[in-house]
Structure 1
Amino acid sequence: MEPHKIIIPPLKSQGIKTKLVPSILDLVGRASATGRWIEPFMGTGVVGFNAGFSQTLMGDANPHLVNFYTSVRSGQITPLHVREYLEYEGAQLSLLGYAHYRLVRERFNTSYGPLDFLFLNRAGFNGMIRFSRKGFWNIPFCKKPDRFQPGYITKVVNQVRRVREVMTEDWAFTSGPFESLLSSARPGDLVYCDPPYFGRYADYYNGWTEADEARLLGLLERTPAKFILSTWSHNAFRRNPLLDLYRSRFEVRTMDHFYHNGGALANRNAMTEALVFNFPAR
């Protein structure tokens, strides 16, 4: 059997699960779910786009992620729109540099256009997604005014095309609290949760607290669906204080991987990730 070719989404973020998709898909296959794929913390959507479910419900507390993919799903944003937009805005960025990045940022923080969101995500520092407490985009410029070269634009356009190809008429995107999506799960569904990592990550759209973590644990204990939860186990400096709690209730699989911080090899860090699930994994 040929290995699964990973679908890379057009949006980027730190902590994206691209490298862990094969391990997650192995568990997805073992879960043998027959219903919907439900993802309350979709982020860039990389896992859901690769999961292979025709019935899919993706959600996030960040409305700009949802708005972008809803626009792709509805046809409001097409690959052609993306190409034309990035060619124009990229030329302006090359000419004006930071001044144009600031203009698009101010425009987005007023009108919240989904294509502006894509631009800022790709032109901002280190592919981060971060908002202020007032809901304004606050990632600094990546200082690469020539970012949008023809080959780079084509790559992003192809990523938009590929994610649209996997969206069937039974796909839906929604913005709101994770509790509502989790509570809608039924027997036969498979829920995938990739919440902000408690104790390690403070830049989620509207924060992530110990109380949020407790509500998530309670819902996972009660859900009639099968689920997979992505979290962190440990690195060289500390351990996840909540993993023992999950381990006492569910199955846990860990794997080592590397991630880049700032894109520099000197900042390469080792991390052990954990996948928590509630079904047998033979």
Structure 2
Amino acid sequence: MAGEKIITPPIKCQGIKTKLVPFIIENVQRDENGLWIEPFVGTGAVAFNIAPARALLCDKNRHIISFYQGIQNGIINSSTVRDFLEYHGSILEQRGGEYYLEMRSAFNQNYDPLYFLFLNRSDFNGMIRFNQKGEFNVPFCQKPHRFSKSYITKICNQVSRVSAAMSGRDWEFICCPWQNAFAGAAANDYIYLDPPYIGRDTSYVGEWSEEDAASLAGYAHQTPANVCLSMWKENQFRKNGHLFEYWSDFTWYEHSHYYHFGAKESNRHPMTEVLAIKR
């Protein structure tokens, strides 16, 4: 990985691990012949940069899985993305928020992965959120000129790099409950966990409760595979009690970084992240 540029996924979401990739790669020691497993693949930032030969990449969000399946089978590529974003981006520039809402309404009927990409890159703060009916409901970012030529090229390059990362590798993208990802895991496999924040319902896939988190810890301890949990440890306001209660017997590697909440510099706070590794 040294000297290589980190792959940034074309899909954005809050909590993306792109900036932590070097820290993760530095501490993950796995059997190259084993299966890399992610029950919460999200944007795919870790898998794309680890680049294992074999991987099982799961998520409960079917739209993310559908998008990456599209790249994998070649239906979605830099050319189709450019054509789509140039066409719809030019209309967005003319009609603004009205057209964004039309595209959002269309996506909630057709579930087209390119519509999903368009919304994800033109909505408020790159959020992924759905209402109780399963409809995407993030508002417009209020930037009608969002899809400039340079911005589209940036997204196309991200799609191309993700496609190259998948090429020649045995990867399977599956939409399923996280529990399914543990089934059949062997001793030489490696399970990377990046679960949702406990008790925070972002409507990405629904609320992640304390009971869910405790159940995940149980699965992680029982599986014969090695396990690496990525989770926040503490900030200046509070500590993560769940981490201390359920994962204290794993080996912890810590990394401090900053996160932003809002636009003001005063909202820039230090955060300690932990990789809790089974063995």
For 2:189, the equivalent position in structure 1 comes to 189
For 2:52, the equivalent position in structure 1 comes to 53
**Cα separation, 2, equivalents of 1:162 and 1:3:** 16
Superposition map of 1:3-14 within 5 A: 3-14=3-14
CA offsets 1:233-277 (integer angstroms, 9 cap, x no match): 111111111111234321112211112223543422221111111
TM-score (norm 1): 0.94
For 1:230, the equivalent position in structure 2 comes to 230
Amino acid at match of 1:87: E
Q: Would the aligned equivalents of 2:214 and 2:246 in 1 still touch at CA under 8 Å?
A: no
3-state SS, counterpart of residue 232 of structure 2: strand
Q: Give % identity.
A: 47
**Cα separation, 2, equivalents of 1:197 and 1:231:** 8
For 1:25, the equivalent position in structure 2 comes to 25
CA offsets 1:62-85 (integer angstroms, 9 cap, x no match): 000001000111111111000000
For 1:154, the equivalent position in structure 2 comes to 153
**Cα separation, 1, equivalents of 2:253 and 2:200:** 20
Quick check: 1:63 aligned with 2:86?
Answer: no
Amino acid at match of 2:77: T
Relative distance call for 1:74 and 1:53 in structure 2 (3 A) is same
State the number of aligned residues: 278
Deviating more after overlay: 197-206 vs 144-153 = 197-206
Q: For structure 1, list consecutive stretches of 5 or more residues without a partner in the other structure.
A: none
For 1:173, the equivalent position in structure 2 comes to 173
**Cα separation, 1, equivalents of 2:3 and 2:240:** 32
Following TM superposition, by how much is the alpha carbon of 1:199 offset from its aligned partner in structure 2, in angstroms? 4.1
Q: Would the aligned equivalents of 1:246 and 1:276 in 2 still touch at CA under 8 Å?
A: no
Q: For structure 2, list consecutive stretches of 5 or more residues without a partner in the other structure.
A: none
TM-score (norm 2): 0.95
3-state SS, counterpart of residue 234 of structure 1: strand
Amino acid at match of 1:138: N
For 1:111, the equivalent position in structure 2 comes to 110
**Cα separation, 2, equivalents of 1:263 and 1:154:** 26
Q: Would the aligned equivalents of 1:183 and 1:219 in 2 still touch at CA under 8 Å?
A: no
Deviating more after overlay: 79-88 vs 219-228 = 219-228
Deviating more after overlay: 112-121 vs 236-245 = 236-245
3-state SS, counterpart of residue 121 of structure 2: helix
Relative distance call for 1:209 and 1:2 in structure 2 (3 A) is closer
Deviating more after overlay: 260-269 vs 156-165 = 260-269
Following TM superposition, by how much is the alpha carbon of 1:183 offset from its aligned partner in structure 2, in angstroms? 2.2
For 1:278, the equivalent position in structure 2 comes to 278
Deviating more after overlay: 204-213 vs 105-114 = 204-213
Superposition map of 1:78-157 within 5 A: 78-157=77-156
Moved over 6 A (4+): none
**Cα separation, 1, equivalents of 2:202 and 2:149:** 35
**Cα separation, 2, equivalents of 1:218 and 1:74:** 35
Superposition map of 1:203-242 within 5 A: 203-242=203-242
Superposition map of 1:38-49 within 5 A: 38-49=37-48
Following TM superposition, by how much is the alpha carbon of 1:32 offset from its aligned partner in structure 2, in angstroms? 4.0
CA offsets 1:79-104 (integer angstroms, 9 cap, x no match): 10000000001001000000110000
Relative distance call for 1:223 and 1:15 in structure 2 (3 A) is same
**Cα separation, 2, equivalents of 1:33 and 1:49:** 15
Relative distance call for 1:263 and 1:83 in structure 2 (3 A) is farther
Q: Would the aligned equivalents of 2:124 and 2:139 in 1 still touch at CA under 8 Å?
A: yes
Supply the RMSD in Å over aligned alpha carbons: 1.5
For 1:253, the equivalent position in structure 2 comes to 253
Q: Would the aligned equivalents of 1:33 and 1:226 in 2 still touch at CA under 8 Å?
A: no
Q: Would the aligned equivalents of 2:32 and 2:53 in 1 still touch at CA under 8 Å?
A: no
Amino acid at match of 1:84: D
Amino acid at match of 1:272: T
Amino acid at match of 1:82: V
CA offsets 1:188-209 (integer angstroms, 9 cap, x no match): 1111110002145644312211
